[in-house]
Amino acid sequence: MRIIKDKLRSDTPRSRPTAARLCALALLIVQAAGRAAAQPTTEATASILVFPKVLASAARETLIQITNTSNSLALARCFYVNAASSTVSAFTITLTRQQPTHWVASLGRPLDPTDPQCSSTSNACNAAGLDPGSVPAFAADFQGELLCVQVSASGEPIGGNSLSGQATLTDLNTGDITQYSAVGLKGTAFAGSTGNTLPLDNSQFISGQYDACPNSWNLNHFAAGAVDDLAGAGSDVQTEITVIPCTQDLSGFAPTGITLQFSITNEFEQLFMATTIATGLVTVSLASIDAGLTLANLGTPTARTQITPTEQGVIIVGEEIRTSPGPGPISTSAAVNLHHEGTRRNGVAPIDVIVLPN
């Protein structure tokens, strides 16, 4: 067997890359890498944190944790949005370098330098550590979201990308605990250039101030009414989603309806479609959205659902609830951060905007 070597070559002398060309190439690579990562995150730090599901009631409680991961002082303007009344409660937190902080939603966290050292568990440790500022409490039932925006010492939004957060939901009757990560939107060097109007317009295609919301969200789940394999006959598995709009005017919150399109694929790759309208912050079970999401209609115990908004972008977290059989059923839940796909900042969809009060 003869091996023929490739003798193709150019008779024109090849020019060596200059330092300027190498620098230009490196800059293009850095820009491309930054744009490729321009999407919401639950793993990296960010300049905007969104906690879509915050509860404070006699049945369930929420522990909020926020950390400044940088070696510099970090400030954030935070806003609770009440889903029932659409009212907004604002406060500011200040975190020293590498400082974590926490509070229970129903208790808040008053500014008190005489807080005792924590020596037990549960709510007795709510005020332990260095106070970040005065955090409001909710005496009555509260269901809504928490949104925090990193700002400078003068209160202007910036792209510091220093913040991360988690929310822990506790069932006060059973002690069942579940946790999800805050959805983060990174800021760029242009963040805050339009003051308190924050466009979510940065993507891998177009540079902007803050990362755009995704084009769609993907959820792997049990069909509504499926049986828990471990608990056996008579058990039940349900999934609910909490949806909030990406576009929010916190200076005068007036939510509008957003059409959500559901594409459901069962285990046989059969496709089902459903549509619903979400106005403001809503928490809804998949079973109540459409019969197409139930076991009887899907024909398989599990499915994959893609949720695509039309008029505006949305942020979604899910929660799976499993209930045991028998006369005294026990329920346990598991919150889940959904996967996301694509970007709303594609040159076609309207740009989502967060407006902060002055």
Three-class DSSP labels, 74-99: EEEEEEEEECCCCCEEEEEEEECCCC
Pick the CATH number of 216-350 from 2.60.290.11, 3.30.360.10, 3.40.1190.10, 3.40.50.2300: 2.60.290.11
DSSP 287: H
Q: Residue 180 CB: number of other CB atoms within 10 A?
A: 23
Same fold, 48-112+125-200 and 216-350: yes
pTM: 0.86
Q: For residue 86, which of 138, 144, 141, 135 has the smallest C-alpha distance?
A: 144
Q: For residue 191, which of 147, 248, 251, 151 has the smallest C-alpha distance?
A: 151
DSSP 186: -
Fold (CATH) for 48-112+125-200: Hypothetical Protein Tm1070; Chain: A (2.60.290)
Q: Residue 121 CB: number of other CB atoms within 10 A?
A: 7
The two tokens of residue 119 are 């020596």
Domain ranges of the chain: 48-112+125-200, 216-350
Per-residue pLDDT for the chain (358 aa), expressed as one digit of tens each?
A: 332 223 333 333 344 445 444 444 443 333 443 444 578 999 999 999 999 999 999 999 999 999 999 999 999 999 999 998 889 999 999 999 999 999 999 999 988 877 767 766 556 677 778 899 999 998 678 999 999 999 999 999 999 999 999 999 999 999 999 999 999 999 999 999 999 999 999 988 788 999 999 999 999 999 998 998 887 888 899 999 999 999 999 998 788 899 999 999 999 999 999 999 999 999 999 999 988 789 999 999 999 999 999 999 999 999 999 998 888 888 999 999 999 999 988 777 789 999 999 9
The two tokens of residue 333 are 């839940």
Residue range 19-75, pLDDT digits in tens: 444 444 443 333 443 444 578 999 999 999 999 999 999 999 999 999 999 999 999
- Angstrom distances, CA of residue 40 to CA of 97, 299, 342: 24, 33, 10
